[in-house]
Structure 1
Amino acid sequence: MPYIHTSDSTRLYYREWGMGTPVLFVSAWAFSGAMWEYQMLHLSERGLRCIAFDRRGHGRSDDPGRGFDIDRLSDDLAEVIEQLDLRDLTLVGNSMGCGEIVHYLARHGTSRIARVALVSGVTPGTLKSAENPQGLPKEAAEFAIMKMQQDRPLYMTDGAIKYFNLGSTWPAAPLLSSEMVQWAIRLILECSPKASIECFRISAQTNFLPDLRACTVPTLVLHGENDQIAPLDMCARRTVQGIVGSELKTYPGGGHGMFLTHKERLNEDLLTFIQG
């Protein structure tokens, strides 16, 4: 099995498809690298080397019950890049993964990185603060954690409607089949309960605004106009303001889970950006 062995003796599983210019995918909160199935298939068949790893406590990686702080998670990303000796690399993040990417850049620099794509990112932060008055109150984040502790499968299943912007018609919604939604929920539930809760807290509470200055490579921000998890104005527009020279593309009708609901357009936008 392909594993990266980190400096704190945690094994991180990764999958790799294709040959050519490397692209490393960093997953959303509670998702393993398997979430990128449709992006990796598309891009690997078009001359790119696609790699996705499972964050600690996720998927087939070890669940050490520790190391769920943003420094350690970004260092895990660094160790994946270094041990696979990836250079001229495109980093593609989704949701929480976008925070890990910009924090990695702040801690480790851009010497190996050619470009960055941030999809449905939570940067620069979703928690309410003086800089972000429309953000999520800390009490709301802790309430969500309490609901996970009470009934995690129910919390994740109920959250899918908001996550994919399906509306009240789910499971008979036109955006995704009910089977696709159930697949996504199964992936989330494979995540360790400890990892789910700790990463949720880190993703909600971390202020990534200072890290954005470290993103000095070409950066593409892709975001849904109807994202209910990381609203466009709160996250994507503020991210673009913080990254000099970055470009924002918005998706009409797009929610937070565009890697599935808008996968065809997303795939083409990523391919154009990487090969352009």
Structure 2
Amino acid sequence: MPYYESPVDGTRLHYTDHGPADGPVAVFIASAYLCSEMWEYQTLPLAEAGFRCVALDRRGHGRSEDTWNGYDLDTLADDVHALLDHLDLRGVTLVGHSVGTAEVIRCLTRHGGARVARAALVAGVSPGLVRSPNLPEGIDPALVRTDEEAFRRDRAGWFTHFADDFFAVQQPGNDVSPAYVSYMIDRCLVATPRAATAVRAVVAGLDLTAELPDLDLPVLVVHGTHDTSAPLALTGERLARLIPGSTMKVYENGGHGLFATHAARLTADLREFLEAGAVRSTESAAA
């Protein structure tokens, strides 16, 4: 299995690498709790279409090594950048979902864009959710603490309770089978208790407002109108306003789990975004 070591502390991190080695490269960063399997409806068809699709299992998630430390955003971003170095990838499109968008943003602002050509931010919790000086309309911290207590008391029950809202199954067209939902819950429970609670702490303290204007590359923001995990007005719309020249696509009736409920549309939008980057790279090389 493909592994590399984090340059921060030597943690062994797992990744998948599908598609032709010389194809345009997309690197996928999953939601909290989930891992590379989350992206199957994007990475498989894109790899079959000629794109190289690399997907990371965050530390403490999936098949990556469990650790106690390293769940601060800087280290998580360093882990992402180390994967690009390990595979010597260039002209990359970084694709992040939920907290993965924060890792993508911090990777860019911390390490620059020498290896990265563009970024897609899908159902992001960025730039932040919880009330702060930069987000006075954010979620009440007291509600976040109550939710954290419920999560620590019964993770399996918490995932089960919020699964329907995650996929917005109440909205028309958001058809996911009970078997798939059960599979996703099982995958979430593979993340260790330490990793799960530590990444939740990253989300609770997240405020990337000041970093977003520094992003100097094409950015695609994708968000659903019925995302209860990351409400559109707090997250996606703010991202699009704060990132210079970004493109936003809003999915009507979409929840947080767009990768499944809107799989074909998301894959098509990502393919279009990747192809635009490939054309630009070809034109730059020719010039």
Name the TM tier (shorter chain): over 0.9
- Partner of 2:211, secondary structure, is helix
Report what 1:211 is aligned to.
211
Matching residue of 2:16: 15
TM-score, with structure 1 as normaliser: 0.96
**Larger displacement relative to structure 2 (138-147 or 199-208):** 138-147
Where do 5+ consecutive residues of structure 2 fail to align?
Answer: 277-287
Tell me the C-alpha RMSD between the 2 structures: 1.4
In the aligned structure 2, how far is the partner of 1:206 from the partner of 1:252? 26
Q: Deviations over 1:25-59 (max 9, x none)?
A: 01111111110111001100111000001000000
Does residue 268 of the first structure (1) align with residue 280 of the second (2)? no
- SS of the residue aligned with 1:52? strand
* Deviation per residue, 1:119-174 (Å, 9 max, x gap): 001111001123322211222222222112111100111111111112399xxx96
Which residue of structure 1 aligns with residue 280 of structure 2? none
Corresponding position of 1:60: 63
TM-score (norm 2): 0.92
Bigger Cα displacement from structure 2, 144-153 vs 113-122: 144-153
User: Which residue is equivalent to 2:120?
Assistant: 117
Partner amino acid for 1:192? T
Match of 2:95 in 1: 92
Which structure 1 residue ranges, 4+ long, deviate > 3 Å from structure 2? none
Residue correspondences, number: 273
Partner of 1:198: 198
Whether the aligned pair in 2 keeps the contact of 1:102 and 1:214 (CA below 8 Å) is no
Cα distance in 1 between the residues matched to 2:174 and 2:118:
34
1:83 pairs with one of 82, 86, 97: 86
Partner of 2:38: 35
- Taking the aligned partners of 1:204 and 1:160, their CA distance within structure 2 comes to 20
SS of 2:13 mapped into structure 1: strand
In 2, distance between residues paired with 1:194 and 1:140? 21
Contact kept in structure 2, 1:125 and 1:206, CA below 8 Å: yes
Per-residue deviation at 1:204?
A: 2.2
Match status 1:105 vs 2:112: no
Q: Is 1:142 matched with 2:145?
A: yes
Partners of 2:94 and 2:104 within 8 A in 1: yes
**Whole-angstrom CA distance in 2 between matches of 1:100 and 1:26:** 8
Unaligned stretches of 5+ in structure 1?
Answer: none
